[in-house]
């Protein structure tokens, strides 16, 4: 089965892609500058670390609240209006942070920004799939993923440059978010798809998407486990293995480098297959096999510390590749509201994988960093590889 049987061939929309890329670049650069800035401002107000941590977690709470209902909101408001809200709400929140000192209002504004962030995550990737040429979908999604990774660097770098003292930092954040909102206004209207009228929204729509793409959702979970989840606990792993605080923190950078460098090449390779669906499954299986083999190498890190660096690089690359391939597969198969539903489920599974990895791995590092921690990574990768190989062999794509 090839993509042409499940998705119309499209020449793409260059203006649509440029608008989404521009909007996301400025928006996320502002968001990732704002997030550490708010933690600094909270500590300057001498709030406890617990309160600061709850404030940071409020963003994820907003994402989890809104993601199951992204398709329902999109059907009610339309894709462009929903994207306008997703771009305007963080700007409103930043202005609120600048003009009020009320802590409870800061929490409310952060929750609003998290809700908007969840909608942007789903809608931006759905827009990319809608506007990308069908024969270059993997490459386009890979480029987009790489650009998103770059904003993780751009935002904090700008904060370090301008400093956190005085109103200048929040002023720059507001300027970046305003530019992101301005770019959003150039996003073209997506023509309604006939099949969207028969597609469920809300929780029924999410379940429909899970049933349509179960193996893709598993791949998204594993991708989040190895990319998002491991990155959050790598400093703890580094300390447990005796690497030191600075080296442990640098493990995050190495993992992020692997994630960033892998997205474009794997997307380009996915586009070159004649049978693109089978080709993407093959690449997914290879990525999980690579993660499995590399996770086995963690058993040797206690003896050879230098192995930690290439291992976390490969694990980050494998996680990023799985997410890129999963989004490419969904974008090639779905359109309209069904595309939003499937993207929302992928986002939920990816973040769930990250949360599971963070929670389970932290406890295992405390218990047994040499054996327990590697074994859970090996188990997750092995389950994913078996599922992907069985699905591919049975031809259930």
Predicted confidence (pLDDT) per residue in 274-307, tens digit = 777 788 888 999 999 999 999 998 888 878 888 8
Residue (of 218, 216, 94) closest to 155 by Cα position: 94
Give the integer Cα–Cα distance in Å for 44 and 304: 41
Among the CATH numbers 3.90.79.10, 1.10.1740.10, 1.10.357.10, 1.20.1250.20, which is that of 203-394?
1.20.1250.20
For residues 97 and 241, the model is more confident at: 97
Closest CA to 39 of 60, 62, 57, 63: 57
Q: How confident is the model at residue 6 (pLDDT cuts 50, 70, 90)?
A: very low
- In this model, does residue 9 exceed pLDDT 50? no
CA dihedral 191→62→150→318, nearest 10 degrees, is: -90
Q: Give yes or no for residue 150 having a pLDDT over 80.
A: yes
Instruction: Determine the pLDDT at residue 245.
Output: 67
List pLDDT tens digits, range 14-39. Answer: 898 999 999 999 999 999 888 888 88
Task: Return the closest-CA partner of residue 326 out of 293, 296, 353.
Answer: 353
Give tens-digit pLDDT for 225-264: 888 777 767 777 777 777 776 777 678 778 888 888 999 9
pLDDT over 70 at 167, yes or no = yes
Percent of the chain scored above 70 by pLDDT?
90
Domains 11-185 and 203-394 share a fold: yes
27-63 CB burial, b ≥16 within 10 A, e <16? bbbbbbbbbbbbbebbeeeeeeeeebeebeebbeebb
CATH number of the structural domain 11-185: 1.20.1250.20
Confidence band (pLDDT; 50, 70, 90) for 141?
A: very high
d(CA 239, CA 235) in angstroms, rounded, equals 6
pTM of the predicted structure, to 2 decimals = 0.83
Give the pLDDT score at 87. 93
Question: Distance from CA of residue 312 to its chain's centroid?
Answer: 18
pLDDT score at 242: 78
- In this predicted structure, the answer to whether residue 84 has a pLDDT above a threshold of 90 is yes
Residue 8 pLDDT exceeds 50: no
Domain ranges of the chain: 11-185, 203-394
């Amino acid at each position: 089965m090839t993509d042409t049987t499940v998705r119309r061939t499209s020449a793409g929309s260059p203006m649509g892609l440029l608008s989404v890329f521009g909007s996301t670049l400025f928006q996320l650069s502002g968001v990732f500058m704002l997030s550490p800035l708010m933690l600094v401002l909270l500590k300057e107000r001498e709030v406890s670390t617990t309160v600061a941590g709850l404030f940071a977690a409020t963003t994820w709470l907003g994402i989890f609240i809104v993601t199951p209902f992204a398709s329902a909101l999109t059907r009610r408001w339309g894709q462009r209006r929903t994207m306008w809200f997703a771009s305007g709400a963080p700007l409103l929140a930043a202005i609120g942070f600048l003009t009020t000192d009320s802590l409870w209002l800061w929490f409310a504004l952060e929750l609003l920004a998290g809700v908007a962030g969840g909608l942007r995550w789903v809608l931006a990737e759905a827009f990319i799939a809608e506007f990308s040429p069908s024969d270059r979908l993997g490459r386009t999604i890979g480029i987009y993923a790489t650009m998103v990774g770059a904003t993780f660097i751009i935002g904090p770098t700008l904060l370090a440059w301008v400093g956190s003292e005085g109103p200048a930092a929040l002023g720059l954040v507001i300027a970046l978010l305003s530019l992101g909102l301005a770019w959003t206004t150039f996003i073209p209207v997506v023509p309604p798809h006939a099949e969207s009228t028969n597609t469920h929204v809300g929780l029924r729509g999410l379940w429909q998407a899970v049933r349509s793409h179960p193996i893709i959702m598993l791949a998204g979970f594993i991708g989040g486990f190895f990319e998002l989840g491991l990155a959050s606990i790598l400093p703890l792993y580094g300390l447990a293995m005796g690497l030191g605080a600075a080296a442990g923190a640098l493990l995050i950078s190495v993992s992020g480098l692997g994630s960033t460098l892998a997205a474009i090449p794997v997307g380009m390779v996915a586009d070159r297959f004649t049978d693109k669906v089978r080709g993407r499954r093959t690449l997914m299986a290879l990525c999980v096999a690579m993660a499995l083999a590399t996770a086995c190498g963690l058993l040797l890190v206690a003896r050879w510390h230098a192995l930690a660096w290439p291992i976390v690089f490969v694990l980050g690359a494998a996680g990023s590749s799985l997410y890129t391939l999963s989004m490419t597969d969904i974008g090639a198969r779905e359109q309209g509201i069904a595309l939003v539903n499937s993207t929302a489920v992928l986002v939920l599974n990816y973040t769930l994988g990250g949360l599971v990895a963070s929670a389970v791995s932290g406890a295992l590092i405390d218990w047994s960093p040499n054996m327990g921690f590697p074994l859970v990574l090996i188990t997750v990768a092995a389950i994913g590889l078996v599922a992907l190989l069985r699905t591919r062999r049975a031809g259930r794509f």
